[in-house]
């Protein structure tokens, strides 16, 4: 990392302020050429920004962060100019003409990781915080950025090291007897480790849900109350749903946030046959989403109950997702909201239009998403983390099996080593350049 990188760190477009960020060994000398001189570390000063030829480009604040106390761990300078794309581009070009090169997406974060300013899970949390689709997801990402996930992973990795040392130590005496396999502390510690690993996996799976959300399909005959329900569910939360990837709207899909859980709702009412080619593409995409849906909310009129037409429609739904039968308009049938078993499925009686029984539905959706104790889900996580934890758990279970079978200590030790390695992939202790490249490439430029 001998070169100096530069990028516009603020969002593209117009804004009151825009920031060009420099990081690397030449960051200070390049910034000095642009701004004349640098203020004391971490103090802002007003400067004129000039290009190499001396032409004034802008005027703004300069901030210098000497290594290692900076985001990347290198010398970092921020030039805060006016937030117009042309002005910022001129400053960036000036920096590049003076020896910097344009940063790749995520390169600042990658440098922070390589310089041990943060581990991999924390670097990912930076991107997740930026991409958060709900206040809860943002809070969870913030906690991961603070190291909540990393600390729990590291504590478990430490325990795995202890266990490995214990088992590997026993290897030296293995010709004498297998008494170590019966050691009660070993068994107790392994059980405790498995327990903690399962708890972490559960919390990580919840954290992943908050980040990635769930696809829910709405189905039912016309007029049973699908749009009414959708409007109720989206409530005020949907107002904060932004235009970021995965939260776009189209005719057939809508993104809402339910108590912090991002939901993509597919309306099957829109899935009709169409001749219009553009509409057909949309419909095809909606069918795909429907097939991937994890939950179907099937609405029917509580006054009529499940009719033959309802059964016919139910049969057309993909068989994968769980189906909740929602007996809507219970205000008209005169029955109270409740949860019950119906047709071998979960049924809920409610009145979307009269705002009754919706708390039951929200709880049921969260249950289907695996969000049982959201208050205790303290951090955000990615699929990659969940998958690594699943592998670590499988190896730890295999180690227990080896020990139970009184198998050779080498085999148990090897399983524990693999479990340890899987944990290390989360924080980036063990990770291939390939994986790092893929992770950081998905970040935005300037981050």
Interacting residues with ligand GDP (CB under 6 A): 220, 222-228, 328-329, 331-332, 351-354
Considering the complex, state which of residue 31 and residue 297 has its C-beta at the smaller distance from ligand GDP.
Answer: 297
* 407 contacts: CB under 8 Å, gap ≥ 6: none
Minimum CB distance to ligand GDP, residue 124 (Å): 39
Minimum CB distance to ligand GDP, residue 354 (Å): 5
Minimum CB distance to ligand GDP, residue 293 (Å): 17
Report cis status (omega within 30 of 0) of the bond before 171: no
Extract the runs of DSSP E, i.e. beta strands, from 253-401: 253-258, 261-267, 295-301, 322-328, 338-342, 345-349
Considering the complex, state which of residue 184 and residue 272 has its C-beta at the smaller distance from ligand GDP.
Answer: 272
Considering the complex, state which of residue 35 and residue 350 has its C-beta at the smaller distance from ligand GDP.
Answer: 350
Considering the complex, state which of residue 17 and residue 332 has its C-beta at the smaller distance from ligand GDP.
Answer: 332
Minimum CB distance to ligand GDP, residue 366 (Å): 21
Asked if residues 73 and 117 have their Cβ atoms less than 8 Å apart, the reply is yes
DSSP string, 261-286: EEEEEEEGGG------HHHHHHHHHH
Among residues 100, 206, 142, the alpha carbon closest in space to that of 446 is found at 100
Asked if residues 290 and 320 have their Cβ atoms less than 8 Å apart, the reply is no
Q: How far apart are CA 219 and CA 242, in angstroms?
A: 26
**What values do phi and psi take at 16, rounded to 5?**
-65, -40
Considering the complex, state which of residue 28 and residue 327 has its C-beta at the smaller distance from ligand GDP.
Answer: 327
- Cα angle 331-334-336, degrees, rounded to a multiple of 5: 80
Point out the residue whose Cβ comes nearest to ligand GDP.
353
Asked if residues 347 and 365 have their Cβ atoms less than 8 Å apart, the reply is no
Minimum CB distance to ligand GDP, residue 330 (Å): 7
**Which DSSP category does 356 fall into?**
B
Minimum CB distance to ligand GDP, residue 294 (Å): 21
- Sign of the CA dihedral with 47 first, then 53, 56, and 60 last: negative
* 99 contacts: CB under 8 Å, gap ≥ 6: 4, 26, 29, 30
Minimum CB distance to ligand GDP, residue 309 (Å): 13
Minimum CB distance to ligand GDP, residue 215 (Å): 19
Considering the complex, state which of residue 205 and residue 314 has its C-beta at the smaller distance from ligand GDP.
Answer: 314
Q: How far apart are CA 414 and CA 103, in angstroms?
A: 41
Considering the complex, state which of residue 306 and residue 411 has its C-beta at the smaller distance from ligand GDP.
Answer: 306
Minimum CB distance to ligand GDP, residue 269 (Å): 6
Considering the complex, state which of residue 329 and residue 402 has its C-beta at the smaller distance from ligand GDP.
Answer: 329
Q: How far apart are CA 445 and CA 108, in angstroms?
A: 9
Considering the complex, state which of residue 136 and residue 328 has its C-beta at the smaller distance from ligand GDP.
Answer: 328
């Amino acid at each position: 990392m001998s070169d100096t990188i530069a990028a516009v760190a603020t969002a593209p477009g117009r804004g009151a302020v825009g920031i060009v960020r420099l990081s690397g060994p030449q960051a200070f000398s390049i910034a000095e050429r642009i701004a004349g001189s640098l203020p004391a570390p971490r103090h802002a000063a007003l400067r004129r920004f000039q290009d190499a030829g001396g032409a004034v480009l802008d005027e703004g604040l300069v901030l210098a962060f000497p290594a290692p106390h900076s985001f990347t761990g290198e010398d970092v300078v921020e030039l805060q100019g006016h937030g117009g794309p042309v002005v910022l581009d001129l400053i960036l070009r000036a920096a590049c003409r003076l020896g910097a090169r344009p940063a790749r997406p995520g390169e600042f974060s990658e440098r922070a990781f390589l310089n041990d300013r943060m581990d991999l899970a924390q670097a990912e949390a930076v991107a997740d915080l930026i991409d958060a689709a709900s206040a809860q997801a943002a809070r969870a990402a913030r906690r991961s950025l603070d190291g909540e996930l990393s600390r729990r992973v590291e504590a478990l990795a430490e325990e795995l090291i202890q266990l490995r040392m214990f088992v590997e130590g026993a290897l030296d005496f293995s010709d004498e007897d297998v008494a170590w396999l019966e050691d009660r502390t070993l068994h107790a510690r392994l059980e405790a480790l498995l327990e903690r690993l399962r708890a972490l996996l559960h919390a990580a799976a919840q954290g992943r849900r908050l980040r990635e959300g769930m696809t829910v399909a709405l189905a039912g005959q016309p007029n049973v109350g699908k749009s009414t329900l959708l409007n109720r569910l989206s409530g005020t939360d949907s107002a904060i749903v932004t235009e970021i990837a995965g939260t776009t709207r189209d005719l057939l899909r809508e993104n809402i946030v339910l108590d912090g859980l991002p939901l993509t709702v597919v309306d099957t009412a829109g899935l009709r046959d169409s001749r219009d080619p553009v509409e057909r593409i949309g419909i095809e995409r909606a069918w795909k989403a429907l097939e991937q849906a994890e939950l179907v909310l099937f609405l029917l009129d509580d006054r009529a109950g499940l009719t033959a037409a309802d059964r016919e429609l139910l049969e057309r739904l993909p068989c994968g997702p769980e189906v909740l039968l929602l007996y809507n308009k219970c205000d008209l049938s005169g029955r109270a909201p409740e949860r019950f078993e119906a047709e071998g499925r979960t049924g809920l009686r409610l009145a979307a239009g009269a705002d009754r029984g919706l708390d039951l539905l929200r709880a049921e959706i969260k249950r289907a998403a695996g969000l049982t104790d959201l208050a205790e889900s303290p951090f955000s996580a990615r699929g990659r983390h969940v998958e690594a934890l699943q592998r670590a758990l499988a190896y730890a279970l295999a180690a227990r099996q080896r020990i139970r079978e009184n198998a050779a200590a080498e085999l148990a030790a090897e399983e524990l080593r693999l479990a340890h390695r899987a944990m290390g992939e989360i924080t980036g202790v063990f990770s291939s350049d390939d994986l790092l490249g893929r992770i950081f490439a998905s970040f935005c430029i300037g981050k």
